[in-house]
Amino acid sequence: MSERLRLLSKRGSEFLGVDHPILGGAMSWLSESRLVSAISNAGGFGVIACGSLNPSDLEKEIEKTKKLTEHPFGVNLITMHPQLSDLIDCCIKQNISHVVLAGSIPSASSIFRLKTAGVKVIGFAPALSLAKRLIKSGLDALVIEGIEAGGHVGPVSTNVLAQEILPNINEVPIFVAGGIGRGEAMSFYLEMGASGVQMGTRFVCAHECIAHKNFKKAFLKANSRDAILSTQLDDRFPVIPVRSLKNKGTKLFLKRQQEVIKDFDNGKKTMPEAQLDIEHFWAGALKKAAIEGDIDTGSVMAGQSIGLIKKEQSLSEIINEFIVQADFKYNN
């Protein structure tokens, strides 16, 4: 690594305690012990996707990960999880160094408990105003994720978010996410003031990823334009857009919305019940595709960087290649 790239990477690498400031995006069902440990062993920072795991299962996943790596890794917790407090206790008990709070604005009590225990807390900021607010609330680092990302995404592109936030925030490290598929993108954002990047889609076709072979084949065949956003049918039921490959599953989501909206209009569901029903569609649909291999009716969540993935590789190959790309202009 050139001295220039090392200097640009220093803040993020030191914050994470790793060689390269590369966060693994927490992908439900896929960001488990094998993938997470492989990312950390390759010099990045793996992050367990807690998702809907209960505290006992999360503890087991953490312990499995510890057996596979001696390097730092973190845990992503969904703030709306009904057992969030117990999950936080689990992370503290297991001496997790970094926790990512995702899904909504984290509460002051959650941040305080984690920081009091010495845990570094990372959150998501989709706008400059919210970034400033989160820093005041005590967050130690931010991820700014653009609409190019896979899964649930915000409404603004990565490039615009970077221009809005990076020149105006220097109090905490900022990691850029969404559409990051090559190392040149990382060096570009590091030059703008970022401390590192977060990637998820790029790691799906790693040998160490447990994704079903059908899921990986779909990734290798897809073009960037194939990863599309879900459609919202009714303004009364705001849907956080989900980016995935277009298939029968995307049509099934529209059908599910229609059914839930009808139940609400007929008094069979309350507003919160209907909203939760719509959101729950994706958890089952993603597992159906990613783990069971049903890429026709399941949800093949993927970011637009999917078009840059051409083959299956080991995690070490992916990250080494990424760093060579990031370093190219500094060595020429």
Can you tell me the mean pLDDT for 42-58? Answer: 96
Give pLDDT, residue 113: 97
Give pLDDT, residue 305: 97
260 within a domain of the structure (yes/no) = yes
Nearest to 95 by CA among 122, 72, 128, 124: 72
Q: Rounded to 10 degrees, what is the CA torsion of 132, 133, 137, 139?
A: -50
Q: How many CB atoms lie within 10 A of CB 221?
A: 12
Q: Mark 166-205 as b/e (b = at least 16 C-beta within 10 Å).
A: beebeebbbbbbbbbbbbebbbbbbeebbbbbbbbbbbbb
pTM: 0.94
218 within a domain of the structure (yes/no) = no
215 within a domain of the structure (yes/no) = no
- Whether residue 282 is found in the same domain as residue 318: no
Q: How far apart are CA 40 and CA 32, in angstroms?
A: 12
- Whether residue 124 is found in the same domain as residue 263: no
63 within a domain of the structure (yes/no) = yes
* Average pLDDT, rounded, for the chain: 94
Pick 283 or 60 by higher pLDDT.
60
Range of the domain at 297: 223-301
What Å distances lie between residue 76 and 27, 36, 49, 58, CA to CA? 9, 11, 5, 11
At CA 32, angle to CA 72 and CA 66, rounded to 5? Answer: 40
Give pLDDT, residue 189: 98
- Whether residue 246 is found in the same domain as residue 295: yes
Pick 36 or 271 by higher pLDDT.
36
- Whether residue 176 is found in the same domain as residue 76: yes
The SS3 call for residue 182 is: coil
* pLDDT range class, residue 284, cuts 50, 70, 90: confident
Pick 220 or 279 by higher pLDDT.
220
Q: Rounded to 10 degrees, what is the CA torsion of 131, 126, 308, 78?
A: 90
216 within a domain of the structure (yes/no) = no
Can you tell me the mean pLDDT for 22-36? Answer: 97
- Whether residue 61 is found in the same domain as residue 18: yes
pLDDT tens string 164-192: 999 999 999 999 999 999 999 999 999 99
> At residue 254, does pLDDT exceed 90?
no
- Whether residue 24 is found in the same domain as residue 173: yes
At 91, list the tokens: 């992370």
Up-side HSE of residue 242: CA atoms within 13 Å toward CB? 25
Give pLDDT, residue 166: 98
- Whether residue 128 is found in the same domain as residue 20: yes
pLDDT tens string 81-110: 889 999 999 999 999 999 999 988 999 999
246 within a domain of the structure (yes/no) = yes
Give pLDDT, residue 237: 74
| DSSP string over 194-234 | --EEEESGGGTTBTT----HHHHHHHHH--GGGEEE-----
> At residue 273, does pLDDT exceed 90?
no
- Total domain count for the chain? 2
> At residue 280, does pLDDT exceed 80?
no
- Whether residue 130 is found in the same domain as residue 161: yes
- Whether residue 75 is found in the same domain as residue 163: yes
Q: Rounded to 10 degrees, what is the CA torsion of 113, 117, 119, 124?
A: 10
* pLDDT range class, residue 274, cuts 50, 70, 90: confident
At 322, list the tokens: 């990424």
Q: How far apart are CA 12 and CA 307, in angstroms?
A: 27
Q: Residue 8: which CATH number? A: 3.20.20.70
Q: How many CB atoms lie within 10 A of CB 325?
A: 16
The alpha carbon of residue 307 and the mean position of all alpha carbons in its chain are separated, in whole angstroms, by 18
Give pLDDT, residue 252: 87
Give pLDDT, residue 55: 97
Amino acid type, 222: A
Q: Are 237 and 248 in contact (CB under 8 A)?
A: no
